[in-house]
């Protein structure tokens, strides 16, 4: 990509024009009037924003959708400002634009990074066709606390899975060449440690030791940056008493000096000005100075840099060199996107994302937690009653961060199931509201349940119950829904629960009263078709849990890669061991767990040798056998435990996962190779450390199953 001589352009820019390249404005308020996804800061009229654009005081606009609106605003920037520098159009295109795909946590349940990249590529093609250049995705926040509302936007609790998904989605959005008009620049967010919000409360401080941050929370961000993400967005939280948005340690020491990140950093929405509320900056001028000098390149929505950087420069509190560095990073991104050559890139090629791909994506995510008596797939000709607040509705299919989704295009459960089973084959009853009773609802539901061979209960979270600023202290299913389920259970022959959710929920009672439980997350536009495909057996469930489902909210945060403690507790352990006295230890359903139609059993994990040479490779294998007469897609998971290390290691760590097709009544042999780096961990000096000694290794179907085999990593040849 050629583009202009950026040094020459920089030399022509006034200080205000340079600062303008660091000022990102929100379209939420200016152009749409409504502010749907962020707090309302200051109402600037579209005219005021356009005046700023003409003055060269704006670098980009975000969440302005619609090709013609983008074209109009870009034309003003290019033709009516002094230097004609094109604007960046960014957006929260998190899991789809008009065609909505499953939320990221659901996609992570698919455990398929290559497929996630394919989805991201399709989403990029659709969004770029509406004039967008830059998506504020993927989120790479590790999440181990289901109380946090943005669990839905994470890829769950596991470092490897979250890292693979972050890298894959960056590659999918960006492709090989950002100047391709169907590509989007990706953003790794929210840097750093946002998912560790204390008590699962959004925006709260993140209390993380340096080693926990390094071992668990930083690798997914690093993976996305190493995959080439063009931008990094800072997080709302503080770390060690310093807001991430104003942290030199994070934004310069780690991101630039250690990781070599060359793109630009952008604040989260007003997070630079919020360093005042944090109790870090005393006023907006100091906030601007401390964020800028920490390494924050661009401010989002606050207007802080436009207000204060010129005076800070004149007062010698920031340097022209530092200013030029930030401006150059932004200009380089615009050139990489091809905007100087074609500011209207993509605008003439609207490529709606494929509904077939959305349906396939939605089919891959649901996790079958229970299927007693093989109640699923539904028997042909079965009389079905579809009951619950999500039986027939189009407003709660997409989940959070689907701000451009067109609900009218969405296929709800009733439509999907009726299309699959035929008119009249499905009785549909609401039964209750999402979080309160419905007059006569239970009576109608019980009446329908009596007549049905199978009751399908469509329960869980509404759209408003997960997402940003939707943390929950109680992660159960609303009481009105439980009352409906209990009443239906008294008369139903068979009960299948479809659990819609953006997070793990406490579902012990529901799991007990149901014959089958299918976690359907928020699946997006093709929800109804995808779920019907699974219920009828047209496709088989293959999702695996990306986060542990707790027995009780009191266990949270709960995750498999925990430490043993000095008094490990096994089921039935006596007192004085690491356990609760009122709740059984461990999750109700573990990370990696998921059933399918058909049954696969795992043979013993076998290692080819008891010793692994320091510079060698160890091969481990395991036989998978299907015994139910159905082909099964099985996710074999490789876990490792470093038995004794200078820094305690988790009792299990996922080191690899791979899908295998296990033929009906047949077997396949799973083979993984372990290298020393798979056994290493951060040495906290910028390198990685592996230590000779004993390791346990499992090939298992989830993070709790299986028996390990032990091997020794030999010391280097002396």
Nearest to 298 by CA among 62, 524, 485: 62
Binding mask 447-476 for ligand GLC (x = CB under 6 A): ---------------------x--------
- CA angle (300, 398, 658) in 5-degree steps: 95
**Token couple for 688:** 């990685």
**Token couple for 233:** 């967005």
Closest contact distance (angstroms) between CB of 63 and ligand GLC is 6
Contact 160, 560 (CB under 8 A): no
Residue written as token pair 């139903």: 492
- 268 as an active site residue: the answer is yes
Binding residue (CB under 6 A) for ligand GLC from 31, 101, 136, 698: 136
Q: Which residues of 386-422 are buried (b: 16+ CB within 10 A; e: fewer)?
A: bbbbbbbbbebbbbbbbbbbebeebbbbbbbbbebbe
How many CB atoms neighbour CB 7 within 10 A? 10
CB closer to ligand GLC out of 229 and 510 = 229
Contact 455, 496 (CB under 8 A): yes
DSSP 348: T
Question: What's the full length of the chain, in residues?
Answer: 718
Rounded Cα distance, 515 and 374, in Å: 8
- Concatenated DSSP letters of 212-277: HIIIIIHHHHHHHHHTT-SEEEE-SSEETTEEGGG-HIIIIIIIIIIT---SEEE--TTTTGGGTT
Closest contact distance (angstroms) between CB of 269 and ligand GLC is 4
Residue written as token pair 């989830």: 702
CB closer to ligand GLC out of 38 and 394 = 38
Nearest to 358 by CA among 130, 186, 106: 106
Nearest to 140 by CA among 191, 201, 205, 184: 191
- Concatenated DSSP letters of 510-579: HHHH-SEEEE-----TTHHHHHHHHHTTSS------SSPBPSSGGG-S--SS----SS---TT--SSSSS
Closest contact distance (angstroms) between CB of 564 and ligand GLC is 35
CB closer to ligand GLC out of 271 and 394 = 271
Rounded Cα distance, 264 and 272, in Å: 15
Binding residue (CB under 6 A) for ligand GLC from 21, 23, 38, 99: 38
Residue written as token pair 């329960």: 459
CB closer to ligand GLC out of 38 and 247 = 38
Site for ligand GLC in 84-103 (CB under 6 A): 92
**Token couple for 356:** 């077939």
CB closer to ligand GLC out of 412 and 468 = 468
Number of helical (H) and strand (E) elements in the chain, helices listed first: 20, 27
Report CA-CA distances (Å) from 578 to 198, 345, 571, 581.
22, 59, 11, 10
CB closer to ligand GLC out of 130 and 468 = 468
CB closer to ligand GLC out of 113 and 195 = 195
How many residues form the binding site for ligand GLC (CB under 6 A)?
A: 8
Binding residue (CB under 6 A) for ligand GLC from 133, 189, 335, 529: 189
Closest contact distance (angstroms) between CB of 544 and ligand GLC is 26
Report CA-CA distances (Å) from 430 to 390, 411, 451, 455, 482.
7, 17, 16, 12, 14
Site for ligand GLC in 266-305 (CB under 6 A): 268-269
Burial of residue 44 (CB within 10 Å: 0-12, 13-18, 19+) is: middle
Report CA-CA distances (Å) from 127 to 122, 181, 293, 462, 514.
9, 10, 34, 26, 41
CB closer to ligand GLC out of 154 and 501 = 154
Q: Helices 479-489 and 441-451: crossing angle, nearest 10°?
A: 30
Q: Which residue of the set 92, 141, 215, 268 is catalytic?
A: 268
- Interaction of residue 37 with ligand GLC, rule CB under 6 A: yes
Rounded Cα distance, 598 and 627, in Å: 7
CB closer to ligand GLC out of 92 and 626 = 92
Distance of CA 283 to the CA centre of its chain: 34
Closest contact distance (angstroms) between CB of 278 and ligand GLC is 15
The widest CA-to-CA distance across the chain, in whole angstroms, is 79
Closest contact distance (angstroms) between CB of 162 and ligand GLC is 16
> In the beta sheet, which residues pair with residue 454?
384
CB closer to ligand GLC out of 36 and 209 = 36
CB closer to ligand GLC out of 269 and 305 = 269
Name the strand (E) or helix (H) holding 640: strand 632-642
CB closer to ligand GLC out of 189 and 542 = 189
Radius of gyration of the chain from Cα atoms? 26
Catalytic residue list: 268
Interface ranges with ligand GLC (CB under 6 A): 37-38, 92, 136, 189, 268-269, 468
């Amino acid at each position: 990509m050629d583009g202009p001589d950026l040094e020459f352009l920089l030399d022509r820019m006034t200080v205000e024009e340079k600062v303008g390249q660091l000022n990102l404005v929100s379209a939420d308020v200016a152009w749409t009037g409504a502010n749907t996804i962020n707090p309302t800061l200051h109402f600037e009229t579209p005219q005021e924003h356009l005046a700023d654009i003409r003055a060269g005081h704006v670098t980009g606009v975000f969440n302005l959708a619609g090709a013609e609106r983008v074209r109009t605003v870009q034309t003003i920037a290019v033709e009516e400002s002094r230097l004609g520098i094109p604007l960046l159009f960014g957006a929260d295109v998190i899991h789809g634009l008009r065609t909505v795909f499953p939320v990221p946590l659901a996609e992570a349940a698919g455990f398929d990074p290559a497929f996630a990249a394919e989805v991201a590529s399709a989403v990029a093609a659709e969004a770029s066709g509406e004039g967008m250049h830059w998506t504020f995705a993927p989120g790479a926040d590790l999440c181990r606390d289901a109380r946090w509302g943005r669990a839905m936007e994470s890829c769950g609790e596991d470092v490897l899975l979250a890292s693979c998904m972050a890298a894959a989605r960056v590659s999918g959005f960006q492709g090989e060449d950002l100047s391709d008009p169907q590509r989007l620049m990706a953003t790794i967010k929210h840097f750093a440690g946002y998912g560790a919000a204390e008590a699962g409360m959004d925006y709260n401080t993140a209390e993380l030791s340096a080693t926990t941050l390094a071992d668990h929370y930083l690798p997914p961000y690093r993976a996305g940056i190493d995959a080439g993400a063009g931008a990094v967005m800072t997080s709302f939280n503080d770390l060690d008493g310093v807001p991430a948005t104003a942290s030199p340690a994070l934004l310069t020491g780690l991101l630039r000096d250690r990781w070599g990140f060359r793109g630009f950093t952008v604040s989260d929405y007003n997070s630079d000005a919020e360093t005042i509320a944090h109790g870090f900056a005393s006023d907006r001028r100091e906030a601007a100075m401390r964020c800028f000098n920490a390494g924050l390149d661009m401010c989002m929505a606050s207007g802080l840099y436009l207000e204060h950087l010129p005076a800070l420069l004149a007062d010698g509190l920031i340097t022209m060199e530092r200013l030029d560095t930030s401006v150059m990073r932004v200009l380089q991104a615009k050139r990489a996107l091809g905007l100087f050559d074609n500011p209207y890139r993509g605008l003439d090629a609207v490529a709606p994302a494929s509904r077939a791909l959305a349906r396939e994506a939605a089919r891959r995510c649901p996790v079958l937690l229970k299927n007693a008596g093989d109640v699923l797939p539904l028997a042909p000709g079965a009389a079905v009653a579809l009951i619950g607040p999500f039986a027939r509705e189009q407003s709660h299919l997409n989940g959070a961060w689907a701000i451009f989704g067109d609900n009218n295009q969405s296929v709800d459960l009733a439509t999907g199931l009726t299309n699959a089973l035929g008119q009249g084959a499905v009785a549909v009853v609401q039964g209750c509201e999402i979080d309160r009773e419905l007059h006569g609802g239970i009576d109608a539901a019980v009446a329908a349940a009596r007549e049905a061979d199978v009751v399908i209960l469509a329960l869980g979270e509404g759209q408003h119950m997960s997402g940003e600023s939707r943390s929950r202290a109680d992660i159960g299913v609303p009481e009105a829904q439980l009352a409906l389920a209990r009443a239906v259970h008294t008369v139903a022959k068979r009960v299948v629960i479809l659990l819609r959710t953006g997070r793990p929920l406490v579902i012990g009672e529901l799991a007990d009263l149901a014959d089958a439980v299918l976690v359907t997350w928020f699946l997006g536009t093709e929800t109804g078709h995808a779920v019907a495909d699974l219920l009828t057996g047209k496709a088989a469930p293959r999702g695996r849990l990306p986060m542990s489902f707790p027995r009780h909210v009191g266990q949270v945060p709960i995750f498999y890669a925990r430490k043993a403690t000095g008094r490990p507790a096994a089921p039935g352990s006596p007192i004085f061991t690491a356990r609760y006295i009122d709740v059984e230890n461990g999750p109700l359903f573990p990370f990696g767990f998921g059933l399918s139609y058909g049954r696969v059993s795992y043979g013993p994990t076998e290692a080819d040798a008891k010793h692994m040479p320091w510079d060698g490779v160890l091969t481990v294998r395991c036989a998978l056998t299907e015994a139910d007469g159905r082909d099964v897609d099985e996710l074999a998971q490789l876990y490792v435990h470093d038995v004794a290390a200078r820094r305690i290691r988790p009792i299990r760590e996922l080191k690899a996962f791979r899908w295998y097709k296990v033929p009906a009544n047949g077997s396949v042999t799973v083979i993984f190779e372990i290298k020393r780096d798979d056994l290493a961990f951060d040495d906290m000096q910028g390198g990685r450390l592996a230590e000779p000694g004993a390791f346990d290794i499992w090939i298992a179907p989830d993070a709790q199953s299986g028996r390990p085999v032990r091997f020794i990593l030999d010391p280097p040849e002396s």
